[in-house]
Structure 1
Amino acid sequence: MDSTTGLRSLRDFIRFGASQFRAAGLSFGHGTDNAFDEAAWLVLHTLHLPLDLPESWWDARLSEVERTRVVAVLRERVATRKPAAYLTREAWFAGLPFYVDERVLVPRSPLAELIAQGFEPWVDPETVTRALDLCTGGGCIGIAMALALPQARVDLADVSTDALAVAGINIERHRVGEQVRALQSDVFDGLEPGDRYDLMVSNPPYVDAEDMAGLPDEYRHEPVLGLAAGGDGLDTVRRILAGAREHLTEDGVLIVEVGNSQAAVEAAFPELPLIWLEFEAGGHGVFLVHARDLPGA
């Protein structure tokens, strides 16, 4: 007998999906952190229903066509180990929906909390006229920054033309083309010498060789270019710290996410007065440094 025989309601299929995911030993971390939320996301998205659907709807019965579609996507999640965001072609960041596919990482940065706060108290949001999202990927961080700082012009920079194509889709989706531009740049190499920013934010590749070797299958669907950063995870971070001063204003601020490579950063740059930020919603490994404290100041 088919294991889906007898499933009728939204609640049934979400429960079924969660059970299948747990039995298959799937990994999470691309928008959800558990099997139930992942199943709910996939079921609701497949049925074109909002993620905040009232629970009173959960006993609604699915049509035969809907049941077939929902079972197919749940089984695809198990068979392929692709993160749900790649199956739905959508991820949420800073309360905003973004298009994603395998050309970019799925957004999951604690920087969303800083953006929601307008980067206060570290930055006066009213004084930011130019901002840079370095290693932008699909543009989620930079576009969220632009919407939070409407007076600022925001550049999205990435070495990957594939990633910039996705960023372009998101620029159009959020209608910020007059405020945001996408630039191909290998760290700072594609910027003009006169490009200076009041705020520079980066979520660069920072996964070290040991962690890369142990990544779950879900993470192996993401572009290696956006993850791997050498033996100690600092290949890109070193370039950012060496060149950021040249592209920051006198009172500019640099914010970089390095995740589990925090200890490596602290060991490699003991002379830099890095401020390690704390997040109420969770997350770690994000430092802030003032332009005046960077090399070349």
Structure 2
Amino acid sequence: MTRREAFAALRQQLRAGGLESPEFEAGCLAEQLFGTAWRLMTPQQLAQPLTPEEDAALHTLARRRLAGEPLQYLLGEWEFYGLPFAVGPGVLIPRQDTETLVECALQATEGILAPSILDLCAGSGCIGIALAHCLPDARVTAVERSQDALAYLHRNIEKNAVQVAVIAGDVLEPELAASIRGADIIVSNPPYLSAADLAALQKEVQAEPRAALDGGEDGLLFYRQMPALWLESLKPGGRLLFEIGMGQEEAVSGFLARAGYTNLEIFPDLAGISRVVSGRRPAGERR
């Protein structure tokens, strides 16, 4: 069997398995196996016969994908904000929706010299690392609890050659929040799926760490607690920016207002869905 024939067979397998983008996924898996982008292969390369090792590896990749393993985990890397991020079991996969949070944070830092940025529930580090890449003078600190995710966070800092400090800790721990002061910006993409959302997840999403998805019974656990906990970690005038799930903007805005934030703003993602809620610590506050 040639590479061209193997690709056609893989694409058909993925289509028969009910995957939404069999052509794209087959191309990703073929590139993973052959080390060259499928669309860039020459006719001579496509006509090469598969080795027994390549044939076995391709069957293994197809079997794992059809069993529900995320494509990103099979590839071991995924792009976010134009940057490469190592991913695998134990860490949440970066998603394009979250790029909206990066854009909003960049806007919030305009005019701030060497901004201090906290990335809470950092996971793979995609948000904080993207901000550190775009703002070389920024002082970025990422906070994450999961040991599995922390391993990917450190790998991704090195992979992207940025300066990001890492703190292993629970963002709902009052002592941790009380120990950090002076942030200009806090960004966070906390777990925000409800119990009903978790019960209805696609098979491949179920392979991602539950702790990175589970926002409690109504999905709002972290939003209830974090605004008050982390208010004094911001400088007066500093901003907290949350990524949110669909339909959570009113509830999250209410939590921010009750915790004392002002100048509340809601930002949509590229699909027009409310994706980021932001609030400001009052500039003249003294506590």
Same fold by TM-score, threshold 0.5 exceeded? yes
Count of residue pairs the alignment pairs up: 278
Aligned with residue 216 of structure 1, among 182, 187, 202: 202
Deviation at 1:62, TM superposition (A): 4.0
Aligned with residue 260 of structure 1, among 215, 237, 246: 246
Deviation at 1:113, TM superposition (A): 4.5
| Distance in 2 (alpha carbons) for counterparts of 1:240 and 1:186 | 11
Deviation at 1:114, TM superposition (A): 5.1
Q: Quote the residue 2:13 is aligned against.
A: 20
1:181 and 2:165 are equivalent in the alignment? yes
Please give the per-residue CA displacement for 1:75-119, whole angstroms capped at 9, x wherever unaligned: 3211x3111111121111111111111111111042324536872
Q: Quote the residue 1:3 is aligned against.
A: none
| Distance in 2 (alpha carbons) for counterparts of 1:268 and 1:290 | 13
CA contact (8 A) 2:227 2:255 kept: no
Q: Quote the residue 1:285 is aligned against.
A: 275
Q: Quote the residue 1:156 is aligned against.
A: 142
Superposition map of 1:1-297 within 5 A: 8-10=2-4, 12-26=5-19, 34-50=21-37, 53-54=39-40, 60-65=46-51, 66-78=54-66, 80-113=67-100, 115=102, 119-120=106-107, 122-124=108-110, 126-176=112-162, 179-187=163-171, 189=173, 190-191=176-177, 193-262=179-248, 265=251, 269=255, 271=257, 274-280=264-270, 284-292=274-282
| Distance in 1 (alpha carbons) for counterparts of 2:233 and 2:116 | 11
| Distance in 2 (alpha carbons) for counterparts of 1:171 and 1:232 | 33
Gaps of 5+ in 2: none
Deviation at 1:204, TM superposition (A): 0.5
Counterpart amino acid of 1:25?
Answer: G
CA RMSD in angstroms, aligned pairs only: 3.0
CA change 1:125–1:226 in 2 (3 A) is farther
| Distance in 2 (alpha carbons) for counterparts of 1:194 and 1:266 | 23
CA change 1:181–1:123 in 2 (3 A) is closer
Deviation at 1:282, TM superposition (A): 6.4
Q: How many percent identity over aligned positions?
A: 32
Deviation at 1:71, TM superposition (A): 3.4
Deviation at 1:266, TM superposition (A): 5.2
| Distance in 2 (alpha carbons) for counterparts of 1:56 and 1:249 | 57
CA contact (8 A) 2:84 2:160 kept: no
| Distance in 1 (alpha carbons) for counterparts of 2:202 and 2:240 | 31
CA change 1:16–1:281 in 2 (3 A) is farther
Counterpart amino acid of 2:10?
Answer: G
CA change 1:55–1:259 in 2 (3 A) is farther
| Distance in 1 (alpha carbons) for counterparts of 2:29 and 2:104 | 30
| Distance in 2 (alpha carbons) for counterparts of 1:135 and 1:83 | 21
Gaps of 5+ in 1: 1-6, 27-32
| Distance in 1 (alpha carbons) for counterparts of 2:169 and 2:46 | 50
| Distance in 1 (alpha carbons) for counterparts of 2:280 and 2:43 | 50
TM-score under structure 2 length normalisation: 0.84
CA change 1:44–1:100 in 2 (3 A) is same
CA change 1:57–1:175 in 2 (3 A) is farther
CA contact (8 A) 2:191 2:213 kept: yes
CA contact (8 A) 1:9 1:61 kept: yes
3-state secondary structure, aligned to 1:151: coil
Deviation at 1:132, TM superposition (A): 1.0
| Distance in 1 (alpha carbons) for counterparts of 2:219 and 2:8 | 39
Counterpart amino acid of 1:81?
Answer: G
3-state secondary structure, aligned to 2:106: coil
Deviation at 1:139, TM superposition (A): 1.1
| Distance in 2 (alpha carbons) for counterparts of 1:41 and 1:245 | 43
